[in-house]
Structure 1
């Protein structure tokens, strides 16, 4: 194999890597994907929601074949204190448009399916092998070094995840900083399907996506998440890495306390933990985006920092798909010209600029700064909880005007702080 020259070698068989391989192979390119895990998805531990639009464009009707878990029909957002929570619950109507759907998925099942689609299109996969280094000649990436062998290719696509050591070696990716990533921990909890449907008020293939702010991340930047699958629940938390040092709890303890919160405990009672995992999550948006291409190489997915935390929803997989599509198209155009220089591969950046990916990252560029405001995770959950608690408490005492009740709790946060955060939030969205 070391005597062959591939059109493209892709490092990483996650969603971005497999989608790029699928598109390239379908177009007749000679593609090799190298995955260090024992199988595609073995090292992918994300909470588990994919917005369908970008993959639907590439594989129309994919959800009818793919091992998706549940169609998300319920959206919940909770402000949570140590004792209680206030929840916004939206039950979506049927959309009848596959590009507007989203699904809970388990990456250990979904990624192998996606790899299989790429293999059927003609891509080759090697699993259980780590790419130790990139093969560089005269400043141009000409292949990879893996498993004691040197494999030559015209281009390399780096889809090796949030902490892209290979991209860092090339000087394209900045070293990971605590301010740019979060640490996520997740448990997969097995429950009977009928219990999941009864406890979450869903039927058939319906599913719930639920985000939490406040108590889950110990009042630090971050939050909790819950996704319902067919016979499991994905439950976890994410906490900003820069906040860990000041935390009074370890991240595993945060998760344990979250599981025992009065809102969560009845939902998972009797469940069996069948998986526990942790991973880094890109959090800084455009601020952590690396140099995306140079001679012979492009960077996609989490390795490029393509993740968007909007507070009310978290997006990464649809961005990974879009970046993979743009990278594959750029490589195919370079292949036609037999020109794999940075100037030729910069078509990738142009395609990204024209796509929703860069437009959304730019639109919400100020959100990471807003979400770094500590009051969102501390004072505001307390304020909302206090207002709602007083609203629904009847104790025989004379009532007070609702306006005064609200002002009483707002005063604890501070009117100046409320105004500053409102202005900051308005500018961010």
Structure 2
């Protein structure tokens, strides 16, 4: 039997792949990190919030090294209709000092930094290379990947698939359940608008490296999804995330919805004068725990977006941290399996146990009902207007009429927005069970 070229081949040099390669290389394994772009981050268009505390296990004092734009010290959630907007705004000085909470970052910078850590640990970066399929032995166990390189295939004891949403390798391995019509996929579209640093700090009430993460509900014409606005050093990232089935049935272009968002009275003053420097679109797996594939097969592990590890739970919108955690545990499990001489699904089962014992699967399991609630018809179409109407009624002064009281305002808003109070109560209870 021919010895494999590498102990571990990791496909995809995003956060999951880089963390996997770093952990496996540090364990003394020979590692190839395969990236289809000319360099890590070349094909990643993400510009959002990265929660870095998972790096405590990988990179001591990571906050001194990680390339960030701003540290998020202000977290806002906005509900809007065409003419209204209600914002819950939270800020804290605690998030503006080590070990920080979240940061805005560009993936081109972040992925390059993470890949350099893996290379420093001994991993071999293989750029401009597409993994075109899986190699298998006579028993069907995965033994590497075929590539589009002139010098051919890469053989390995374990393949870690971190090749992104709709993972081709996970599907070929038979780990994905058939998913009709992209039911658990969303399309994110984003613009990066350049603004002077002093303008950003004045408009968003920020100083130094402080930053804002603004999440928006009610800006997608009822299509399941939402909007976002993040501050970078001298630009803002603004966009919408849209459920694919709803977008297809609405017969509207995503850039139209983004244009609507930028023109909204609550948003237009924040982005006025911004110069477009980038437009990007990307598929996102937002089905949560119940949409995940099998994570372990004979000779193969799946992590990151390839494993649908994106948490879309309304008040929690996270992905990179789950990718980093899953990649770290995948690299750890792969190294242990190679060392034991058993890279079958049984030998790799430690990966699942590591995930179960960590936030990666614990959070997804706890919040498994949340995507269904957040993307439901009532939450998307009716509740933003209901809440805005109630708040408008509370603050509106109609003297000489007496104040109507909260119960009357709620009843009137529910009638006007065609919300049945029993449905509101039911969804409230579901929310308490999901987030409690």
Normalised by the length of structure 2, the TM-score is 0.94
Distance 1:184 1:291 in 2: 25
SS at match of 1:20: helix
Superposed, 1:194-273 pairs within 5 Å as 194-215=198-219, 217-247=220-250, 249-273=252-276
Distance 1:28 1:238 in 2: 41
The farther-off stretch of 22-31 and 158-167 is 22-31
Does residue 37 in structure 1 map to residue 34 in structure 2?
no
Please report the RMSD computed on the Cα atoms of aligned residues, expressed in angstroms: 1.8
Q: Conserved in 2, the CA contact under 8 Å of 1:47 and 1:236?
A: no
Distance 1:235 1:313 in 2: 18
Q: CA deviation at 1:19?
A: 1.0
Q: Aligned to 1:407, which of 383, 408, 411?
A: 411
The farther-off stretch of 145-154 and 82-91 is 145-154
Deviations 1:284-307 (A, max 9, x none): 111111111111110011101111
Does residue 181 in structure 1 map to residue 182 in structure 2?
no
1:419 paired residue number? 425
Distance 1:207 1:268 in 2: 15
SS at match of 1:426: helix
- In the superposition, relative to structure 1, how do residues 212 and 160 fare at CA in structure 2: closer, same or farther (>3 Å)? same
Deviations 1:152-194 (A, max 9, x none): 1111110000110111111112345422111111111111111
Q: Aligned to 2:327, which of 300, 318, 324?
A: 324
Q: Aligned to 2:174, which of 171, 174, 179?
A: 171
Deviations 1:369-417 (A, max 9, x none): 2113211122111112212222333355423322323331133322122
1:5 paired residue number? 5
Deviations 1:113-154 (A, max 9, x none): 111111111111121111111111120111111124111111
Superposed, 1:110-149 pairs within 5 Å as 110-138=110-138, 139-148=140-149, 149=152
Distance 2:67 2:148 in 1: 32
Q: CA deviation at 1:57?
A: 2.1
Q: Conserved in 2, the CA contact under 8 Å of 1:56 and 1:99?
A: no
Distance 1:43 1:287 in 2: 28
Structure 1, unmatched stretches of 5+, are none
The farther-off stretch of 417-426 and 4-13 is 417-426
Q: CA deviation at 1:255?
A: 0.9
1:389 paired residue number? 392
Normalised by the length of structure 1, the TM-score is 0.95
Structure 2, unmatched stretches of 5+, are none
Superposed, 1:37-56 pairs within 5 Å as 37-56=37-56
2:101 paired residue number? 101
Distance 1:322 1:176 in 2: 25
SS at match of 1:143: strand
How many positions carry a matched residue from both structures? 427
